[in-house]
Chain A
Amino acid sequence: MALSKFKKRSALFNHFVLMLLALSIILPILILFFNSLKPQSELLTNPLGAPMTLRFTNYYDAFVFGNYSRIMLNSLYFVVGTLVVCLPLSALASFSLAILSPRGKLTTSIAVYLLIGLSIPAQLYILPLFILWKNLYLTNTYIGLIIIYSALNAPFAVFLMRSYMIQLPKELFEAAKVDGASTFELFYKIAIPLSWPVFLTSGLIVGLAVWNEFLFAVTFIQDENFKPISTILFSFSDKYAHDYSLISAASIMMAAPIGILFILFQRNFIAGLTSGGLKG
């Protein structure tokens, strides 16, 4: 009896703190949402409150001005394309690091090598990369940018996948080897099916990174028709003008698809980061 009361009070305390933390996030974003519905003029008189006049046309304007449908499709191509390239390649690499040679100098050096790549600022190598890409005829193409995104996101994906795969029961692999399975079969018959949670998680994280990415998109894509969604925000703000209501609306529209995906796949997302099942 006492324990359950204690648990209830303890849960209440938890909720209290969690709610405070949640508010620190909800309130600023709520204001963004409010602003996306206000006409430009109301921003002066009512900067933080709920909109007094609802102007849904902000969304319409952002849709039209920013050519939303086209750019969203482009972003979709980039996300799906990157996932199709990056995830399998990363899975192969993680399998190698996790199962084929679980310890030893190889793993450490590769890990260090990939990690260091994460810390190099893009501004340092984007110019030589463009020149290289131009010589390979890869600029202004979907596949060119997809390869770049795959390379940029592979290290993190490899890390996630490796920590997951390393917890797969070794006995399964041993048994299969005894049955005469080739290494490749070990990979696609055992490792892959068991690892789908981490694939989902990596997919969401890599997809998110590609969706929001701006710098490389703008440098390597010259054609209007290939522009991705991250450029929409820059259509409405430059050194001269900020139309806050339009930008707010555009931001909500840009975040919405990913937000929805995350809500739908939340549980699986978490599963991918765990060892995929209870121990013992």
Chain B
Amino acid sequence: MKFKMYKFLFTVLISMIVANSAFAKTKITWWNYSDEGGGLDATLKEMVQDKFNASQNDIELEIIFKDGDVNDNTRTALLAGVGPDIITSSGASYVKAYHDAGFLLSLEKYSQQYGWADKILPWAYNTGVFDGQFYSFPQNYETMLYFYNKTLFEENGWKLPTNLKEYEDLAEKIMAKGMNPYVYGSSGWQPTHEHLVGNYFNTYAGPENVYKALTGEIKWTDPVFVESIELLKKHMLAGYWAGSLENYYAIGWDDYFSQLTNRQAAMLPIGTWGFGDTIAGFEAISDEFGWSKLPILGNYGGNPNYQLSIGSTMSINASSKHPDEAAKVINWMISDKKRVVELTKKLGFGNWLIPLNYDDDDFSQDIHPSMRDFFVDFSETTAKGDYGYTTWTFYPAEAGSHVWKEMEVVWAGDITVMEYLEEQQKLWDKARSKNALIPVGKR
């Protein structure tokens, strides 16, 4: 009797072990950056990791959130020959560096297998194509726009500017009332300066010229760019943002929304990542907010445009042991547009806005009307070809960090605008000669 018992238990045990190994799940690791305060970690776990794991039985996805700079962690691991299956990077310049070093797996075959080129917006897709093959998946797309206090404008009879003269006149009117025309600042994030440079390049010199400079057809020392930066310098020193250059350096994220809702400032030039806090901030007060594309300041500006930007990217580690499974994870992420919208909605639309071809019915009814309008407008405007280029997506590493690091020196008056642009051009030439440029799709 006893012996039979043991045999039975033994068989059960063995079958369990065999079953477990036969159906052992493939583990896929993915390193992302951490933002617990913004709810990112919990949301990604819930909406991506848990949902994916629940949807199938073969793969177990684990997302690991890295504090500090995920790029530093990732690069260190990649150099040591390890690292996660799915790699997150902060942008195109990292992807380029990883690709050149051979750390990334070509996703071309998966792209063709799953038809990614049709699902992702073309300009976004192109930023991931190196040497004719697809390598990196955009996690997010962003663009720059304005939020403004609509109620304040109505009360004062102000109108949004449509050209340089109106822009400067409006700023004067606002300052006369003791308010800041714009609130923006770089405290805690020095690269903020690149947003302003990009804004002025794309609205004064215009996207066509920026494209030509990116591809080397004209130089960054061309008068259109010199004038753009001179204008930026003039406005910064006049205190357009936060009232003075010093205050601009001291203002940080919290101040943006508090100043806008407290009527200490009239407008906020920020990226789409500001939607969430703007909506939340205005919900608590009686004023209403509005949003708008950036006004065109120069003759070459063209029509009001949206600057293109890819936020973070996803790629597959070339030394990953399970690339097929990793590709499955990535494909799953974009396979249900409603789920994608749901995810980004939880993050206030500031993050994980994957650049897919959205239709109106992909958005549920409870999205804030401003956001819905934005999505629609973005698709229409960019489809027409009215799009520009942000510096952090399309610049190579050295030129990209030079743009913001040296801007302070220009504002301080230690170097001239021409010297700044000459240094920029030198860095671009150097990058060009080393083949370190970021791909820019044709207009």
Contacts and interface: CB of A to CB of B under 8 A. Distances in A.
A224 B62 CA distance: 11
Interface stretch (A7-15, A149-157, A183-191, A238-246): A238-246
Contact of B36 (A65, A131, A222, A240): A65
Contacts of A224: 64-65
A225 to B, nearest CB: 10
Interface stretch (B76-84, B214-222, B302-310, B360-368): B76-84
Interface string A222-240: 1110010001001111111
A108 interface: no
Contacts of B66: 218, 222
Contacts of B79: 127, 130-131
A24 interface: no
Contacts, number: 80
- The interface size bin for chain A is 20 to 34
A278 B176 CA distance: 72
B253 A130 contact: no
Contacts of B189: 239
A222 B73 CA distance: 9
Contacts of A101: none
Given A218-B73, A222-B73, A223-B64, A65 B37 contact: yes
A43 B80 CA distance: 45
Among A223, A235, A238, find the residue whose CB has the most chain B CB atoms closer than 10 A. Answer: A238
A66 interface: yes
A241 B37 contact: yes
B68 interface: yes
Contacts of B244: none
Contact of A219 (B65, B76, B253, B262): B76
B64 A130 contact: no
Given A130-B76, A239-B189, A234 B64 contact: no
Contacts of B35: 238, 240-241
B68 A134 contact: no
- The interface size bin for chain B is 20 to 34
A240 B64 contact: no
A43 to B, nearest CB: 8
Interface in B54-69: 64-68
A234 B258 CA distance: 22
Contact of A130 (B80, B188, B254): B80
B38 A240 contact: yes
B377 interface: no
Contacts of A215: 68
A234 B254 contact: no
B287 to A, nearest CB: 15
Interface string A58-82: 0000000110000000000000000
A240 B273 contact: yes
A127 B277 CA distance: 37
B68 A234 contact: yes
Given A127-B76, A127-B79, A134-B81, A237 B64 contact: no
A241 B73 contact: no
Contacts of A126: 76
A135 interface: yes
Contacts of A227: 67
Contacts of A178: none
A66 B64 CA distance: 15
B298 interface: no
A265 to B, nearest CB: 30
B34 interface: yes
Given A131-B79, A239-B188, A244 B37 contact: no
A116 interface: no
B68 A242 contact: no
A44 interface: yes
Given A130-B79, A231-B68, A241-B277, 14 more contacts: A43-B254, A127-B76, A134-B80, A215-B68, A218-B67, A218-B68, A222-B64, A222-B66, A222-B77, A224-B64, A224-B65, A235-B34, A239-B253, A240-B273
Interface of B: 31, 33-38, 64-68, 72-73, 76-77, 79-82, 188-189, 252-254, 258, 262, 273, 277, 350
Q: Which 4 A-B pairs have the closest CB atoms?
A: A134-B80, A235-B36, A236-B37, A218-B68
